[in-house]
Amino acid sequence: MEYETPLFFHVMQYADRADRDVVDMVSGNPDWEPPEALREGLRDYASLEPDRFQYGPSEGLLELREEIAARRGVDAEQVIVTNGAGEANYLAMARALERDSGDEILLTDPVYPYYPGKTTMLGGTQRFVATDETGQLDPADVRDAASEETAAIVVNSPNNPTGAVYPAETMEALVEIAEAYDAILVSDEVYDHYDLSGEFASALESDSAHRIVTNAFSKSMAITGFRVGYAIFPPELVENAKSRHMLVNVATTRPPQYAVLRALRETPPEYYEENRALLRERVDTFTDALDAAGAEYTTPRGSFYVMARFEDYPGTLENVERLIDEAGVAGMPGEAFGDSRSAWLRFALVTPRVEEAAERLATYFG
Amino acid sequence: MEYETPLFFHVMQYADRADRDVVDMVSGNPDWEPPEALREGLRDYASLEPDRFQYGPSEGLLELREEIAARRGVDAEQVIVTNGAGEANYLAMARALERDSGDEILLTDPVYPYYPGKTTMLGGTQRFVATDETGQLDPADVRDAASEETAAIVVNSPNNPTGAVYPAETMEALVEIAEAYDAILVSDEVYDHYDLSGEFASALESDSAHRIVTNAFSKSMAITGFRVGYAIFPPELVENAKSRHMLVNVATTRPPQYAVLRALRETPPEYYEENRALLRERVDTFTDALDAAGAEYTTPRGSFYVMARFEDYPGTLENVERLIDEAGVAGMPGEAFGDSRSAWLRFALVTPRVEEAAERLATYFG
């Protein structure tokens, strides 16, 4: 079996090994501070009794699951704490495929490349539905692509890489399509704290046995390395997913769960608001420079990413490497996200050097 | 798809909810102190710069992989740091099955119940090879069971649940059988620091493209909740396993990796020796009491477990629950480990109350 490894790590390695200073805009790693309560949680954990260093419950620490359940308006029994959104999406897609109700997974184009990789690994087939230029998904196009073969529809809003935020009507329509074809809508909402549009709608707003919501604290608390995420399953689907989680990982790491619980309880709303404000500022800085460079681009309504297109500079891996060497800015090739964006590059606004990167691009392309 | 959830969590929950004081000898969670350097590592990590809170390399922190590789005499490129031995075994078994070289997995009877669970989840079939009364595996029996259908042979030494330690000749013969049938020997060596016999032999001693070694710091550092393990693959097999690891988990949690690296470097051999000495003492205490209770039992040569058989008291889940309620001792039903041990109970010696538990059993059965 062959399955594609996402390109992120390759590009990051290339940038690391470059002979010059490079502004890293490759991956979605926040560069801002995690919540102070998270650091305190970890520090306190280090002095706990030895029994706290052992396995917690496989599905996650009960208090953390209850805290998540209360915030999301679901029952704690529906929540599995996972090794980041990565495992949450893996469990959700596996759960959809193992129901003997089709083996096709509907994905968007452009797409976050882990989804097609997971699909292939799980033995499913991929079918892509194009989004429009702003990244919006038309439910009518999804309905046209859906069939009895459809096991799942996987979406991500706020979206990586387009920055689109799907309105409530889109989410509701997607749940209805999943219901009509005995499929599962997998809604990856990991950027929910970075909705800059005010229009984010969770798939949880539609009560249904045909949707699984995945999320993580990786982005919201700036801790992508901690690997604490979660999936919310309908009661009908949760038991097998718990078994798979147990059989793959036994349990999610405990010290990070403890620290996240502390941070969830003690972090004021201002923490999240300040990070959104910082992101807004960076969007303005970066898109101003793209204007100066004469580039086409999408202004993100959520998430961390700007897609940009420079004349006669397609979004190939080769051009990304050339940009690293010649301009000192590292982005992601648009082709990594699907054919429709092969002319584009993706830049992640998670560096304090956004202004510098913007100037470098304006100089290089201007 | 249906796959069996191991019974451990069920029994632990039952014991937790009991109306009386219960000595917990269910699961293999060490009750002793983790290394002091591990606590310090976690404490220091809490104050690091935000970039250290983000994704490390998917295959694990380079320094940790190099430290593991140096200790095990392999190349760091062969090492993947995993979410505990649980994920390491999952990756190894998946890697064996995806080669289109058979879909049968040879397991021992008795067996650690996660292995058959993982086999079913991965779409493989199980075939069991009986061990002798002491838990030793005769390679001739494995050879008889092997065929072109054999994708993997999964063994665990020091063994859970029997306490057997396989000699070097057994390990070498198993590697040869794997080579003869284009199968993979998966050698789970998570109890290697608890070899009480001095006869432990790693599968790494045979250089071969047909063996994968799995391990973790869960038991050796008394941190089952941290989820830091590793798998050592032959160079020919490692790339696909890295992709799967990335597609399932993205990466292993970072703060625990940092703490484990510190502990690996700074913990003196005495730490491990003291824990072995403690375990030896408990084996003596517990087996003396079993003698007094007139029970049959196996004296472990490694790992944490004593299997015991009491007259007219088969190792069913029902009898385990009765023992919790009536004697205040929680073990595991032998039937969870396979038909051959259905008359037996398994007791984990990872509680400071081994003596008390032994007395309770002697009184109840004596």
Please measure the distance between the N-terminal and C-terminal CA atoms of chain B and give it in whole angstroms: 45
Alpha-carbon gap: A92 to the closest alpha carbon of chain B (Å): 11
For B106-162, how does the pLDDT look when each residue is reduced to its tens digit (9 = 90+)?
999 999 999 999 999 999 999 999 999 999 999 999 999 999 999 999 999 999 999
Residue of B nearest to A42 (CA): B46
- B-chain CB neighbours of A84 within 8 Å are 249-250
What does the alpha-carbon distance between residue B359 and residue B117 come to, in Å, rounded to a whole number? Answer: 35
For residue B272, what are the CA distances in angstroms to A55, B179, B268?
20, 34, 8
Q: Same structural domain for residues B64 and B210?
A: yes
Kindly determine whether residue B84 and residue A249, on different chains, have CB atoms separated by under 8 Å: yes
Give chain A's length.
366
Identify whether A340 is part of a domain: yes
Say whether the peptide bond before residue A158 is cis (omega within 30 degrees of 0): yes
Whether the pLDDT of residue A6 is over 70: the answer is no
Residue A5's pLDDT is what? 59
Give chain B's length.
366
Q: A61 and A68 in contact (C-beta within 8 Å)?
A: no
From A238, A266, A294, give the residue that closes a domain.
A266
- A-chain CB neighbours of B30 within 8 Å are 50, 54
- B-chain CB neighbours of A250 within 8 Å are 83-84, 86-87, 114, 227
Helix pair angle (A36-45, A254-266), 10° resolution? 140
Closest CB to B83: pick one of A30, A50, A83: A83
Whether the pLDDT of residue B360 is over 80: the answer is yes
A–B CB contacts, 8 A cutoff, strictly below: 197
The whole-number average pLDDT for the span B47-56 is 94
Closest CB to B53: pick one of A58, A117, A225: A225
- A-chain CB neighbours of B96 within 8 Å are none
The whole-number average pLDDT for the span B222-226 is 98
Identify whether A2 is part of a domain: no
Q: Same structural domain for residues A162 and A188?
A: yes
Burial class for B306, CB neighbours closer than 10 Å (0-12, 13-18, 19+): buried
Name the amino acid, one letter, at A331: G
Closest CB to B53: pick one of A4, A90, A223: A223
Residue B214's pLDDT is what? 98
- Residue A211: give its domain's CATH number: 3.40.640.10
Q: How many CB atoms lie within 10 A of CB B128?
A: 17
Beta strand B305-309 with B296-297 is antiparallel
Kindly determine whether residue A53 and residue B225, on different chains, have CB atoms separated by under 8 Å: yes
Say whether the peptide bond before residue B139 is cis (omega within 30 degrees of 0): no
Closest CB to B34: pick one of A39, A43, A50: A50
Alpha-carbon gap: A308 to the closest alpha carbon of chain B (Å): 25
Kindly determine whether residue A240 and residue B3, on different chains, have CB atoms separated by under 8 Å: yes
Q: Same structural domain for residues A258 and A121?
A: yes
Identify whether A296 is part of a domain: yes
> What tokens does A136 get?
């919006």
- B-chain CB neighbours of A86 within 8 Å are 247-250
Identify whether A3 is part of a domain: no
The whole-number average pLDDT for the span B312-335 is 95
For residue A81, what are the CA distances in angstroms to A55, A58, B56, B88, B225?
13, 8, 21, 19, 14
Confidence band, pLDDT 50/70/90 cuts, at residue B366:
confident
For residue A253, what are the CA distances in angstroms to A84, A192, A262, A349, B86?
10, 23, 15, 29, 12
Identify whether A291 is part of a domain: yes
For A19-46, how does the pLDDT look when each residue is reduced to its tens digit (9 = 90+)?
999 999 998 899 999 999 999 999 999 9
Confidence band, pLDDT 50/70/90 cuts, at residue B1:
very low
- A-chain CB neighbours of B56 within 8 Å are 225
Confidence band, pLDDT 50/70/90 cuts, at residue A3:
low
Beta strand A79-82 with A229-232 is antiparallel
From A237, A266, A295, give the residue that closes a domain.
A266
Kindly determine whether residue B56 and residue A31, on different chains, have CB atoms separated by under 8 Å: no
Kindly determine whether residue A5 and residue B243, on different chains, have CB atoms separated by under 8 Å: yes
Q: Same structural domain for residues B252 and B273?
A: no
The whole-number average pLDDT for the span A180-184 is 98
What does the alpha-carbon distance between residue B103 and residue B152 come to, in Å, rounded to a whole number? Answer: 8
Kindly determine whether residue A9 and residue B242, on different chains, have CB atoms separated by under 8 Å: no
Identify whether B88 is part of a domain: yes
For A86-103, how does the pLDDT look when each residue is reduced to its tens digit (9 = 90+)?
999 999 999 999 999 999
Total domain count for chain B?
A: 2
For A208-242, how does the pLDDT look when each residue is reduced to its tens digit (9 = 90+)?
999 999 999 999 999 999 999 999 999 999 999 99
DSSP tag of B5 = P
Kindly determine whether residue B226 and residue A254, on different chains, have CB atoms separated by under 8 Å: yes
DSSP tag of B358 = H
Q: How many CB atoms lie within 10 A of CB B220?
A: 23
Where in the sequence is the domain holding B226, given as residue range(s)?
A: 54-266
Q: Same structural domain for residues A256 and A130?
A: yes
Residue B4's pLDDT is what? 55
Residue of A nearest to B119 (CA): A247
Nearest to A91 by CA among A152, A15, A138, A160: A152
Q: Same structural domain for residues A297 and A331?
A: yes
Whether the complex's predicted ipTM is more than 0.90 is answered with yes
> What tokens does B137 get?
């595996």
- A-chain CB neighbours of B27 within 8 Å are 55
Alpha-carbon gap: A135 to the closest alpha carbon of chain B (Å): 24
Kind plus residue range of the DSSP H or E element containing A18: none
Q: Same structural domain for residues B79 and B186?
A: yes
Alpha-carbon gap: B209 to the closest alpha carbon of chain A (Å): 18
Q: Same structural domain for residues B154 and B280?
A: no
Kindly determine whether residue B5 and residue A226, on different chains, have CB atoms separated by under 8 Å: no
> What tokens does A320 get?
């990304």
Q: Same structural domain for residues B101 and B238?
A: yes
Closest CB to B255: pick one of A30, A54, A256: A256
- A-chain CB neighbours of B5 within 8 Å are 242-243, 246-247
Whether the pLDDT of residue B75 is over 60: the answer is yes
Helix pair angle (B238-249, A114-121), 10° resolution? 120
Residue of B nearest to A27 (CA): B55
Identify whether B159 is part of a domain: yes
Kindly determine whether residue A33 and residue B50, on different chains, have CB atoms separated by under 8 Å: yes
Confidence band, pLDDT 50/70/90 cuts, at residue A1:
very low
- A-chain CB neighbours of B39 within 8 Å are 46-47
- B-chain CB neighbours of A115 within 8 Å are none
Closest CB to A121: pick one of B5, B84, B247: B247
From B218, B233, B266, give the residue that closes a domain.
B266
- B-chain CB neighbours of A249 within 8 Å are 83-84, 86-87, 90, 227, 249
- Which residue shows structure tokens 């109970």? B345
- A-chain CB neighbours of B45 within 8 Å are 42
Mean pLDDT over all residues of chain B?
Answer: 95
What does the alpha-carbon distance between residue B212 and residue B218 come to, in Å, rounded to a whole number? Answer: 19
Identify whether B302 is part of a domain: yes
Q: A112 and A234 in contact (C-beta within 8 Å)?
A: no
Helix pair angle (A254-266, B254-266), 10° resolution? 130
Q: Same structural domain for residues B325 and B238?
A: no
Nearest to A24 by CA among A359, A363, A350, A360: A350
What does the alpha-carbon distance between residue B320 and residue B7 come to, in Å, rounded to a whole number? Answer: 12
The whole-number average pLDDT for the span B179-191 is 98
Kindly determine whether residue B27 and residue A253, on different chains, have CB atoms separated by under 8 Å: no
Give residues with Cβ within 8 angstroms of A49, minimum separation 6: none
Alpha-carbon gap: B107 to the closest alpha carbon of chain A (Å): 16
Q: Same structural domain for residues B244 and B313?
A: no
Burial class for A336, CB neighbours closer than 10 Å (0-12, 13-18, 19+): buried
- Residue B278: give its domain's CATH number: 3.90.1150.10
Confidence band, pLDDT 50/70/90 cuts, at residue B48:
very high
The whole-number average pLDDT for the span B215-222 is 98
Q: Same structural domain for residues B60 and B81?
A: yes
Whether the pLDDT of residue B27 is over 90: the answer is no
What does the alpha-carbon distance between residue A186 and residue A212 come to, in Å, rounded to a whole number? Answer: 5
| DSSP reduced 3-state for A144 | helix
What does the alpha-carbon distance between residue B155 and residue A265 come to, in Å, rounded to a whole number? Answer: 44
Q: How many CB atoms lie within 10 A of CB B158?
A: 29
Alpha-carbon gap: B103 to the closest alpha carbon of chain A (Å): 14
Residue B350 backbone dihedrals phi, psi, to 5 degrees: -115, 50
Beta-bridge mates of residue B212: B186
Residue of A nearest to B12 (CA): A57
Q: The sheet that has B125-130: what strands, in order across it?
A: B79-82, B229-232, B211-216, B184-188, B150-156, B104-109, B125-130
